Amino acid sequence: MQTKDYQKRSLLGIFLGYFRPHLRLFLLDMGCAFTVSMIDLAFPLVTRSALYQLLPDKRYETFFLVMGIMVLCYVLRSFLQFVIAYWGHTFGIRVEADIRRDLFSHLQSLSFSYYDNNRTGQLMSRLTTDLFEITELAHHGPEDLFTSILTVIGAIIIMFTVQWKLALVVCLMFPVCMSLIIFRRRKMSRVSKMVKQRTAGINADIESSLSGFRTSKAFANEAAEYDKFLHSNERFKTSKREFHKEMGIFHATMEFFTSILHVVVIALGGYLIMKDQMDYRDIITFSLYIGTFVNPIRKMATLSEMLANGFAGLNRFAEIMRTEPTVQDLPDAQELGPVRGDLSLEHVNFSYKEELPVLKDLSLEVRAGETIAIVGPSGGGKTTLCQLIPRFYEATGGVIRVDGQDIRHVTQRSLREQIGIVQQEVFLFADTVLENIRYGKPEATMEEVVEAAKRAEIYEDIMEMPEGFDTYVGERGTLLSGGQKQRISIARIFLKNPPILILDEATSALDSITEAKIQRAFDELAKGRTTLIIAHRLSTIHAANRVVVIADGVIREQGTREELLARNGVFAQLYHTQNLVEGRF
């Protein structure tokens, strides 16, 4: 389903839509549940027949034959319960896996702006806890609802054939019970949704603390983090209090109703026996059916809680699936083939929030193969400009072109395949060195990976690692030094070998010697390729054909390094300030 389908469909329609690929398992589960219900309904009838006919007529052989058949029926029932438990849960897990697949796929399609406003821990909660409860609803919900309705209707029909007056009383009490179920379920649903929101926030707090434990140790702030954890843990203890209170009221009411039902049947049945309108054997049959009748009531009580939790999770799932990516391919978007690397930015505007413009009417032409250094004060819009080119964010005004093609008219994937990015904040996956480098070209051969590592000046370091290219780098590359992480991320780009490069302070984590080596490699890689270098350290821009100075979202100056120094403007001020600061050391 597409995002628009999720927007149009109801929660129930979305939920049932995931049943279709696994319809056979679902029908198997429901068929077994139907047979179990029929066996449960049959036993009181068999008992009544035995008490009225077989035993008084001394038809003992027939009696034991019937009991033997009932034993076989209960053997079959046990097998069917196994099928329900095993294959029913398998059905639920497959539904959950499909939902998780679609959710993860949709999360991948969402733009950077979505992740700017949502915490990782909250998204993790939606991918795990919420979906588990949807699984339980997928398996038990239809099955319990179907068997409960079937058993209740069957039991009532049979009870009317036994003693209609007593059955009528039971029928009058049943709507009262169902009204309570519906009323309490709605209250639990509202509370459950609130609890899920709180729990997701708690998960996000814990995830943040675990991710930053190195920083807390560096500042000796373990005690402060522990206090924050205790606060979150206390919120966890109290977050479900209201839900459990509602659940407790519900179950207490239901227990009273189901218990008093037995008392009403015995009391009224005794009265009818006194009036010679009923037989003691009918009382026994009625009591057995009340037991059969009560079990569905209890299931409905559990089902109401399951519905509250499951639909709260389903609502949160649908909320994400109904979210449109802020950056989307046009319906007629074309594939962007191999490009020369001409870049054109025409009157580009951008703002993260409408009232705070970041780029203002910015225009820039970059010829294929040209190396441009983008410098300026922090917060001036340098990184934002480079994030608009691969369409991580959508420009709010103006046009960006690659080889004359408006990037809005080509697919995001094909555009990004032509661009290599080394970001200021390096991210490595919890995998081996080999797989982290190969991420730049998943089908790359070992020889290509080795060549990329050599060009990134990381090959010798890898060979000194315990398992070479198969060395595990740890979570976010924590087992490597900052320079090693940076050079592995650079090796990815060497392997990808794109026509357009964006280097966001790509050598920031390297020592001076390694930086010089990498800079030479970058100079070689940049030959014949369009390269944008976001530079804070002006010593890294010596190979740039042109320097563009951005401040307050506009281009203040551009030209060669020598021209800008001679102009004695913003660039010259930055240059002399850095030389003065570095000269102190």
Residue 553 falls inside a structural domain: yes
H/E run at residue 475: none
Same domain, 186 and 312: yes
* Percentage of the chain exceeding pLDDT 90: 12
- The average pLDDT across 506-523 equals 66
**Confidence bin at 275 (pLDDT 50/70/90):** confident
Please determine, for residue 129, whether its predicted confidence score (pLDDT) is greater than 80: no
DSSP assignment of 13-31: HHHHHTTGGGHHHHHHHHH
Which structure tokens are listed for 471?
Answer: 């060395």
* Percentage of the chain exceeding pLDDT 70: 90
Return the higher-pLDDT residue of 237 and 446: 446
Tens digit of each residue's pLDDT (9 = 90 or more) over 103-115: 888 888 888 888 7
Please determine, for residue 57, whether its predicted confidence score (pLDDT) is greater than 90: no
Contacts of 479 (CB under 8 A, 6+ apart): 471, 472, 473
Same domain, 133 and 260: yes
Residue 237 falls inside a structural domain: yes
Residue 530 falls inside a structural domain: yes
- The average pLDDT across 21-37 equals 91
Same domain, 313 and 349: no
How far apart CA 558 and CA 454 sit, in angstroms, is 34
Same domain, 313 and 407: no
Closest CA to 308 of 121, 201, 181, 204: 181
Please give the model's pTM, rounded to 2 decimal places: 0.72
Four-CA torsion 547, 550, 556, 562, nearest 10 degrees: -20
H/E run at residue 326: none
Contact 188, 305 (CB under 8 A): yes
Which structure tokens are listed for 16?
Answer: 């049932």
Please determine, for residue 257, whether its predicted confidence score (pLDDT) is greater than 60: yes
Please tell me the predicted confidence (pLDDT) of residue 507.
62
Tens digit of each residue's pLDDT (9 = 90 or more) over 342-351: 999 999 999 8
Same domain, 35 and 120: yes
Rg from Cα positions in the chain: 35
Contact 59, 53 (CB under 8 A): yes
How far apart CA 461 and CA 470 sit, in angstroms, is 13
Specify whether the backbone of 457 is left (phi greater than 0), alpha (psi in -120 to 50) or beta. Answer: left
Same domain, 204 and 250: yes
Residue 212 falls inside a structural domain: yes
Same domain, 355 and 304: no
Which structure tokens are listed for 116?
Answer: 């700017």
Same domain, 146 and 268: yes
Residue 334 falls inside a structural domain: no
Residue 328 falls inside a structural domain: no
Domain span including residue 376 = 343-583
Contact 491, 514 (CB under 8 A): no
Return the higher-pLDDT residue of 20 and 175: 20
**Confidence bin at 406 (pLDDT 50/70/90):** very high
C-alpha distances in Å from residue 428, one per residue of 386, 461, 481: 21, 16, 12
Please tell me the predicted confidence (pLDDT) of residue 152.
84
Residue 329 falls inside a structural domain: no
Contact 531, 371 (CB under 8 A): yes
CATH number, domain containing residue 447: 3.40.50.300
Please determine, for residue 209, whether its predicted confidence score (pLDDT) is greater than 80: no
Number of domains the chain contains? 2
Longest dimension (CA), the chain: 121
- The average pLDDT across 131-158 equals 83
CATH number, domain containing residue 243: 1.20.1560.10
Please tell me the predicted confidence (pLDDT) of residue 214.
60
Same domain, 8 and 66: yes
Sign of dihedral through CA atoms 47, 52, 56, 57? negative
Please tell me the predicted confidence (pLDDT) of residue 585.
35
Q: Return the bridge partners of 555, or none.
A: 550
Domain boundary (260, 290, 321) is at: 321
Please tell me the predicted confidence (pLDDT) of residue 71.
92
Same domain, 150 and 93: yes
Give the single-character DSSP code of 481.
Answer: -
Return the higher-pLDDT residue of 83 and 135: 83
Contacts of 77 (CB under 8 A, 6+ apart): 35, 36, 39, 40
Same domain, 314 and 394: no
Q: Return the bridge partners of 362, or none.
A: 348
* Helix spans in 432-511 (H): 433-438, 446-455, 459-463, 482-496
Residue 414 main-chain phi, psi, to 5 deg: -65, -30
Same domain, 292 and 436: no
Residue 332 falls inside a structural domain: no
Residue in the block written with tokens 């100056």: 557
Which structure tokens are listed for 367?
Answer: 């010829």
Please tell me the predicted confidence (pLDDT) of residue 420.
87
